[in-house]
Amino acid sequence: MQHLIGVDLGGTNLKVALLDKKGEIRKKTSVLTARGKQAVLQQIIESIEKVLEKTGVKKSAVLGIGIGTPGLVDNIHGIVRGFTNIKGWRNVPLKEYVEREIKLPVYVDNDVNLMTLGELMCGAGRGAKNIVCLTLGTGVGGGIVIEGNLYRGSTLSAGEIGHVSVNADGPRCICGSYGCLERYVGNAYIVKKAVEAIEGGRRSIIKKLVEGDLKAVTPRVISRAARQGDRLAGEIWEETGRYIGIVLSGVVNLLDPEIIVIGGGVAQAGRLLFEPIRKTVKERAMSIPARKVKIVPAKLGKDAGLIGAGMLVKVEANKISSLHPA
C-alpha cells in the first residue's frame, strides 16, 4: 500500500490527486465544483475513480483517501457541518458516503488544517514541532500544530487568527466582533484601501495597470505596482504587514512557535509583505521567542491542501496501526 489519495473540495474547484507516501503528486485532476449536494458527492466518487483508472493504480495499493473542505468539519466522525458554497450541504457524512462507494478508509478535515498539515510534513514547516499557519485571502484563516500534531480545539474551531483583534474598538467585522485582523488585511479591504486612495486623488500606477477600471484592482495588481516602485502600493503592503505583525506578535507571545508559515494569494507579495511583518514581530513580541521564530512563505502553493489531504491519510493510518500493531 504505497499510495494516498488527496481530495480538495473547494467552492470553485474539486481537485483530486494520487500521491506517494512522501507527498509527491503523481497525478492530479481538477474540475469545476458541481452545484447541489448530490451532484458534488457523485463528482467526488467519479474523480477518485478517474485518477485510479488513469494511473492504473489498484485500490489495494492505496492506503486511504483524505478530503479537505472549507468550514466546520467534524474530523472525528468525518462529517462536514456546513459549506455555504454548496446548496444543501449541511451535516454531510462524507466519510461514510465515500467509504461505502469506494471501499477505502476515508478521513475528512477542514481545508486550512490540511494546508497546515501539508506544510508541516512536506513544505515550509518540515522538521518543526510547533507551527502556526496563516492563510491570506478573502478570509484570513489559520492552523496550529502543537508538538507535531494538528491542534483542532475543543469544538474543532481552533486557529481563527483572522478573528484576533488588532484594535479593540476598530471597525466591525463580519464575525460580529471589532477590529479583527481579517477586517484589515482580507483581500477586499486591501483593494478598498487602494481604490479609495486613488479615488481620493492619490497618484498611483495601479490605475494605469487596470487601464482606469478600478473594479479590476486585485491584491496581485497592488503587488505588481509595489514592485515597480509605486508609493501607494508600497504603503499598502507596509500597513498590511504591520497589522499582520501586530497579531502575530500576540501569537508569538502566546504560543512561542518555531515557525510561522504564511500562504494564500496575498502572501505572493513576498518581501514587500514579509519585511514589515518580521520587523513588527521583532519590535513587539517578547525577545526570546521573537528571536527564535521564523516567519516564512508557504512552499506548497495551491497544492498545499491536496498534499495535506494525502498526509492526513498517512497520519491517521499510522495512529490506527500503532493501536493495532501487526
- Applying CB under 8 A, the residues found at the interface with a second copy are 72, 129-130, 142, 144, 146-147, 149, 151-161, 163-169, 175-178, 243, 246, 249-251, 253-258, 283-289, 292-293
Closest to a second copy by CB, 163 vs 278, is 163
Give the nearer residue to a second copy in terms of CB position, either 180 or 221: 180
CB nearer to a second copy: pick between 156 and 214: 156
Rounded to an integer, what distance in angstroms lies between the CA atom of residue 113 and that of residue 311? 11
| Residues 137/264, Cβ–Cβ less than 8 Å | yes
CB of 186 to a second copy, least distance (A): 15
φ/ψ of residue 70, rounded to 5: -70, 170
Burial class (CB in 10 A: 0-12, 13-18, 19+), 7: buried
Given CA atoms 76, 135, 293, 251 in this order, what sign does their dihedral have? negative
Helix H or strand E encompassing 224: helix 219-227
Least gap, CB of 131 to a second copy (angstroms) = 10
| Least gap, CB of 93 to a second copy (angstroms) | 19
Q: What are phi and psi of 223, to 5 degrees?
A: -60, -45
Nearest to 68 by CA among 10, 133, 145, 137: 10
User: CB of 261 within 8 A of CB of 123?
Assistant: yes
Q: How many CB atoms lie within 10 A of CB 196?
A: 11
- Judged by beta carbon, residue 152 or residue 207, the one nearer a second copy is 152
Using CA atoms, how far residue 57 sits from 26, 62, 265, in Å, is 11, 8, 34
Find, among 208, 291, 282, the residue nearest to 245 by Cα.
282
Q: How far is the CB of 83 from a second copy (least distance, A)?
A: 15
Nearer to a second copy, 36 or 153 (CB): 153
Cβ-based nearer residue to a second copy, 54 or 292: 292
- Shortest reach from residue 305's CB to a second copy, in Å: 21
**Crossing angle between the packed helical segments 231-255 and 271-284, to the nearest 10 degrees:** 40
Q: In what order do the strands lie in the sheet with 73-74?
A: 73-74, 79-82, 90-92
Measured in residues, the chain has a length of 326
Q: Please report how close the Cβ of residue 161 comes to a second copy at its closest, in angstroms.
A: 6
Task: Give least dist CB 291 to a second copy, A.
Answer: 8
Beta carbon nearer to a second copy, 115 or 164: 164
CA-based diameter of the chain, in Å?
71
Closest approach of Cβ 209 to a second copy, in Å? 30
Residue with Cβ nearer a second copy (48 or 140): 140
Closest contact distance (angstroms) between CB of 184 and a second copy is 9
- Whether the Cβ atoms of residue 307 and residue 6 lie closer than 8 Å to each other: yes
Nearer to a second copy, 3 or 152 (CB): 152
Q: Coil, strand, or helix at residue 105?
A: coil
